[in-house]
Amino acid sequence: MTARAMIVGAGVASITRNTRRHTHDIALEACQAAAVDAGIDMEEIDGLATYPGRPVYEPDGATIAAILPLLSGARNVRWYAELSDGLVGSAVIEAVDAVAMGRCRYALVWRALNQPQYGPWNHQDWAGRDQFLGPYGYYRVIHDHAMAFTRYCALSSCSREDTARLAMAQRRNAALNPFAFFRDVELTFEDYIAAPMISDPLCRFDCDIPVQGGWAMVIAAADAPRRSAHPPAYVRAAAQQTSVMIGESLIYTLADHVDVGGAVCNVLYRESGLGPGDIQVAELYDGFSSSVYYWLEAAGFCGRGEGPAHVARMIEKYPDLLPINTHGGSLSEGRSHGMGHVVEAARQVFGTAESARQVAGVEAAIAFTGAPTYHSAGLILSRSPGR
């Protein structure tokens, strides 16, 4: 299918921790950077989309109501979508569909996050589904991921050496990304092995780093005039999945973490006419390191249980720049819930990643927002609009 939408600009706001910077200012910085990169004036922006929730919606979620008044010049908006669930990938897909349908021509999509401080839960009474979890001390997102990963490690040969290698390679990528929170902080094997476990087998360096950050893109109809200095990234396919819903079972099984990603990827490959062999860069949501293996397997880059061996082979082949999570991923760039992954995939296709981080000869990139199980969505971006 010929692409009906293209990403024409991408921007990242400075990524920080423990500052008093307001989420609205962060979102605005990312939006302005994306518009400048696209060469589009705010007057031309006629569509807006975001997902303002998670981690903390109120009081400073970067909603459309909050951000639109700050986008000086954006007086011609005729379409918008603000999602209450589904993470940011769904907002991106809404914008892709809106420009394809002619509801708007240039849609600005952003995601800005604050940095929540989660403590333990204090309530004594646990009702609904939680009545079967709370009495066992089981209630964090990481617990679900840790459970799946324990089983994955038992059924494959994945070891802490494997996850250390992955985290270290992403950190080396982050050193090439001027926006990455950990751009100047080396991660050694000794650092990884010495890091405290949070929920075994996931240690601190298997978890994304919560940041104050913002990411934005301008998505245009494929026939809209282009004004960027770089080529566009055509959206060859977009897909999301709802095959596993929260609350259906007590916990996510390993199958819930791996199989459902395959459903997203089947749509992406069918719609784009491309396959894993046509893709040079993979930006794989990594709220926890284990999700990188699940996405690699779901997307057919390797067989089931072969994620760790595949990563090891890729590191050997590409010691200077792993073409997986080239921006450092959320482990090392900062938690973006996948928006950083889509922005980085676009920049790799544009050819505008900073020189040492630019993968040579990128024709197509794949990006996922969310863990396979968790409101996930994916996109395939390409230099070519397809036929």
Partner 1 sequence: MIEELRYVSFLRTSARPVADELSAPFWDGAATGVLRIQQCAACRSLQHPPERFCRRCFGRDLAFASVNGAGTVYTYTTVRTPTVPGAEPPYTVVVVALDAQPDVLMLTAWEGEAPLWLTVGLHLEVAFDSAVPQFGPTAPVQTGSCS
Which residues of the shown chain bind partner 1 in the complex (CB under 8 A)?
A: 119-129, 131-140, 143, 146-148, 150-151, 154-155, 196-201, 248-251, 253-254
Provide φ and ψ at 122, rounded to 5°. -105, -10
Rounded Cα distance, 278 and 295, in Å = 16
Instruction: Specify whether the CB–CB gap between 376 and 234 falls below 8 A.
Output: no
**What's the min distance (Å) between Cβ of 113 and partner 1?**
21
Before 210, cis peptide (omega within 30)? no
Place of tokens 């995601």: 111
Place of tokens 């061996």: 309
**What's the min distance (Å) between Cβ of 250 and partner 1?**
5
**What's the min distance (Å) between Cβ of 195 and partner 1?**
11
**What's the min distance (Å) between Cβ of 143 and partner 1?**
6
Residue closer to partner 1, measured from CB, 247 or 361:
247
Provide φ and ψ at 144, rounded to 5°. -60, -45
Instruction: Specify whether the CB–CB gap between 372 and 82 falls below 8 A.
Output: no
Residue closer to partner 1, measured from CB, 50 or 289:
289
**What's the min distance (Å) between Cβ of 280 and partner 1?**
35
Before 201, cis peptide (omega within 30)? yes
Taking the mean position of all CA atoms in its chain, how far away is CA 181?
Answer: 15
Residue closer to partner 1, measured from CB, 125 or 190:
125
Residue type, 190: E
